Structure 1
Amino acid sequence: MAREAVHVVAMLVLTFSTGVADAVRYLGLDRVFTGNMTGNVVILGMGVSGTTDLPVGGPLIALAAFMAGASLGGRVTRTAAPDSWRLTSTVLLCGVGLVFTIAALILAVEDVEQGTALAFTLTALLAAAMGLQAAVARHIAVKDVTTVVVTSTITGLAADSRFGAALENHPWLRRSAAVLLIAAGAGAGAAILTVSLALAVAVPAVLTFAVAVVGGGMSSRSAT
């Protein structure tokens, strides 16, 4: 498989994983996203207005932690060649998987209530992990697949379609897959929540580890 194809498949799997993670965090804990920071900004704005019962602390913590994770990812990958998958990418993604594993273990033994210190700690850990994932995806640079948001992907899908600019070689398949997979992940996350919160958090952990190991290995072989 060509290196570009490996990167696309890996980022699409992480997009599905993000859908699971965001559904779990929003529905299972305290109405905060771990990957979709646009959603958190909107929730924060509505919460600050005082006219809703939406949280303020959770979105603030998630935003700060996401930026911290993204900053760490940017720092670690700054010396690596752009548009590439190096060992650092694999290590960072394994770190993301480890954070989700730790969170799943905590949830397996503890009942986490909204607004508690433990809930805010989990928010910070998972959002930082997603920021780290987003930074790695940004470095690998698969066009239209950031793994954490699809607004720009939907814009490109519509704007470049035959109803828009009618762009030749329009990557509609990749864009459509990203949108459908993040939605499918959210649906899967909501369904798994009916079984176990810890299990729902464990799913992104497994998927991220798989992408880190398999995707990194295949990318390295295809580059030789």
Structure 2
Amino acid sequence: MLNRLKSAEPARLHLVLMLVLTFSTGVIDAVGYLGLDRVFTGNMTGNVVILGMALIGADNLPVVGPSIALAGFVVGAVIAGRVLKPEAAGWSKRTTALLTAVGVTMAAVAVVLFAHAPHAGDPVTLIITGALAIAMGLQAATARHLSVKDVTTVVVTSTLTGLAADSRLGGGTGVHWGRRLGAVVLILAGATAGAALLHVHAGLGVLLTAALTLVVAAAGGFAPAWTQVGDPAAIEPAASNH
């Protein structure tokens, strides 16, 4: 495992790590939507749509939960933006610290969920929603800073658009089809896993995302130092999203 990390090119390693976080987003959004009263803590497009329908009372959809999630996500993204502003695009100690904070926050939420079953409108459940949304905002902004093309870790709409539009059927060359398809499949697999774990306990899915995020933080934090020892020129900024 360590030897593979040492020999991996930073751009390729970052892609793999962001795909892992994409899977974990699927898990956490399944837990949020099915276990926290139909709220997404990673996919803000879903929250905006739910909130828009809820404002006219459609299907008794929640208003408070999605609002808290939206606010929390923005707060998390603002914090990450401030922390990473002095840094060039790519992995750094601050990147590792932010993702570690995400993992620790999720681990703390998992502990709370094991002690307190979530209920719609319950204050503790709303606090959990806010904490998870802040963590996902931190993650999304950190992933954006890493600039791994087509892998934002929290949404796949633009990824799916690129997959189809740039495919040979769409008149393109099929560039980056592997990572694009991987992101879509992994967020789907994560949602499936999250829904399955929810049948056992709401805290299990969150605990899984905490573990995955901490592994990603550790792998990304150690790898740059190892690659620099072997080949300083191997460290390159990840591909731009633009």
Q: What TM bracket, shorter-length normalisation?
A: over 0.9
Partners of 1:199 and 1:52 lie apart in 2 by: 29
Provide the secondary structure at the position in 1 that maps to 2:51: helix
Question: Per-residue deviation at 1:115?
Answer: 0.4
Distance 1:77 1:5 in 2: 21
TM-score by length of 1: 0.97
Calculate the TM-score normalised by the size of structure 2.
Answer: 0.90
Provide the residue aligned with 1:100 in structure 2: 106
Distance in 2 between residues matched to 1:35 and 1:78, nearest whole Å = 22
1:128 maps to 134
Q: Aligned partners of 1:222, 1:45: CA distance in 2, in Å?
A: 48
Q: In the alignment, is residue 210 of structure 1 matched against residue 215 of structure 2?
A: yes
Counterpart in the other structure of 1:27: 34
**How far 1:195 sits from its partner (Å)?**
1.2
User: Is 1:71 the equivalent of 2:78?
Assistant: yes
Question: Could you tell me which amino acid in structure 2 is paired with residue 66 of structure 1?
Answer: F
Looking at structure 2, the residues matched to 142 and 110 of structure 1 have their Cα atoms a distance apart, in angstroms, of: 37
Work out the CA distance in 1 between the residues paired with 2:162 and 2:221.
28
Work out the percentage of aligned pairs sharing the same amino acid.
Answer: 55
The CA deviation at 1:24 is: 0.6
CA positional deviation for 1:29: 1.7
Question: Shift of the alpha carbon at 1:216?
Answer: 2.2
Structure 1 stretches of 5 or more lacking a match? none
- Aligned-pair distance for 1:219? 3.4
- Aligned match of 1:148: 154
In 2, Cα distance between the equivalents of 1:67 and 1:149?
15
Residue of structure 2 in register with 1:90 after alignment: 96
Structure-2 separation of matches of 1:144 and 1:76:
23
- Secondary structure of the residue that 1:181 maps to in structure 2? helix
User: Are residue 5 (structure 1) and residue 22 (structure 2) matched?
Assistant: no
Structure 2 gaps, min length 5: 1-7, 233-242
Matched-pair contact (CA < 8 Å) for 1:85–1:220? no
Pairing partner for 2:143 from 119, 137, 143: 137
Residues of 1 paired with 2:58 and 2:205: CA distance?
Answer: 32
Aligned length: 222
Q: CA deviation at 1:51?
A: 2.7
Structure 2 equivalent of residue 166 of structure 1: 172
Contact 1:16 1:182 in 2 (8 A): yes
Q: Which amino acid aligns with 1:6?
A: L
Measure how far apart 1:30 and its partner are.
Answer: 1.1
- Give the counterpart letter for 2:216 in structure 1: V
2:98 is paired with a residue whose SS is: helix
Q: How far apart in 1 are the matches of 2:164 and 2:110?
A: 38
Q: Retained in 2: the 8 A contact 1:34–1:62?
A: yes
CA distance in 2, matches of 1:138, 1:219: 18
